[in-house]
Chain A
Amino acid sequence: MCYHWNERMPMPEHDPDLTRAFALMDDPADDGFTAAVAARVSRKEQMRKAARWAQFGAFGLAAVALAYGVAGLIQALGPGLMAELGLGLAEAHGALAGGSFSAGLGALATPLLLAIAAGVGGLAVARATAE
């Protein structure tokens, strides 16, 4: 490109001759560049998929471990809790049948408190899991 410049000319922010010179420059040929980028993207996506499956597997294992622990807890504490609940209900039923409403409420207090504690505990676990 033939380039002429007069040194007395003021320096503009954009030089038209240089802008034209840049525009005339050739862009490089592909020469396998696109294939190389596509291969890197493909590898990256495969790794991302593998990581997602690994994460899924880890969550599955954690869920199984949690279920196993909860089942063990229920096996250990369940019969005692059920017995306590049955006893409380039987006492309440007896008190109400005997005409004493306040004694019936007192007998129901234990099973009610147990149910509320279980509900609150369950909600706390669910919230912690969601977070």
Chain B
Amino acid sequence: MPRGLSNPGSAPEAALILAAQARDQAAFAELVRRRQGWVRALLRRMCRNDAEADDLAQEAFIRAWDRLADLETPAAFPGWFRRVAVTTFLMAKRKQKANLDSIDDEAVQIASEDSLPDSIAGARIDLQRALQRLSDGERLCVTLNHGEGMSHAEIVELTGMALGTVKSHCQRGTEKLRRMLTPEKA
């Protein structure tokens, strides 16, 4: 039985990851405490509601616990865990029969400011609320592109979507966000 860390709270992340790979639950709990904000924020931007995002974040941490042995070096943890989280999100969406490649954007309320409620149209709105007005595919691609700093090619590699689809989701999503976040000129 491997010896656990004496004080996980003050241990560097690499030490926590190595201890968690040796099945140290306290080290893993500390890792969860440090990373939960980031992964829940990422999933909240990709999901339409916070409760669903938090459920998926829990699922992603459980998967990470099960598969930590696959992680080769602690330095690779952020990218590896982001992949686990995005895969968890995509699997949940597939379960819901949502096909990210074939979402009919016309059906999603957002295309123009005319479709926005009076209280929002023409005013600066919160980015989180603006994201919720994008289609699933646009929200995913824009979040990974601008929120996580990933290139189109990296998003293709991570999600398995076609490059053209990723570019189109990023472009349309970005345009819509810009329009919603830009204050209307008097």
Chain A residue contacts of B152, Cβ below 8 A:
13
Does residue A110 face the partner (Cβ distance < 8 Å to B)?
Answer: no
Q: Describe B's contact surface by its main secondary structure.
A: helix
Q: Which B residue's beta carbon lies closest to that of A9?
A: B178
Beta-carbon contact of A30 and B181 below 8 Å: no
Beta-carbon contact of A13 and B145 below 8 Å: yes
- Interface 1/0 per residue, B29-54 and A, CB below 8 Å: 10011001110110011000010001
Residue from the list A2, A15, A44 in contact with B62, Cβ < 8 A: A44
Beta-carbon contact of B33 and A34 below 8 Å: yes
- Interface 1/0 per residue, B149-166 and A, CB below 8 Å: 101100000000000000
Chain B residue contacts of A8, Cβ below 8 A:
none
- Interface 1/0 per residue, A36-72 and B, CB below 8 Å: 1110111011000000000000000000000000000
How many chain B residues touch A (CB < 8 A): the figure is 40
Does residue A11 face the partner (Cβ distance < 8 Å to B)?
Answer: yes
Q: Give the number of residue pairs across the A-B interface with Cβ within 8 Å.
A: 100
Which size bracket describes the interface of A in this complex? 20 to 34
Does residue B146 face the partner (Cβ distance < 8 Å to A)?
Answer: yes
Beta-carbon contact of B33 and A30 below 8 Å: yes
Max chain A CB contacts within 10 Å: which of B65, B124, B171, B175?
Answer: B65
Q: Which A residue's beta carbon lies closest to that of B44?
A: A28
Could you list which residues of chain B lie within 8 angstroms of chain A, going by C-beta atoms? 23, 25, 28-29, 32-33, 36-38, 40-41, 44-45, 50, 54, 57-58, 61-62, 65, 124, 127-128, 142-143, 145-147, 149, 151-152, 170-171, 174-175, 177-178, 181-183
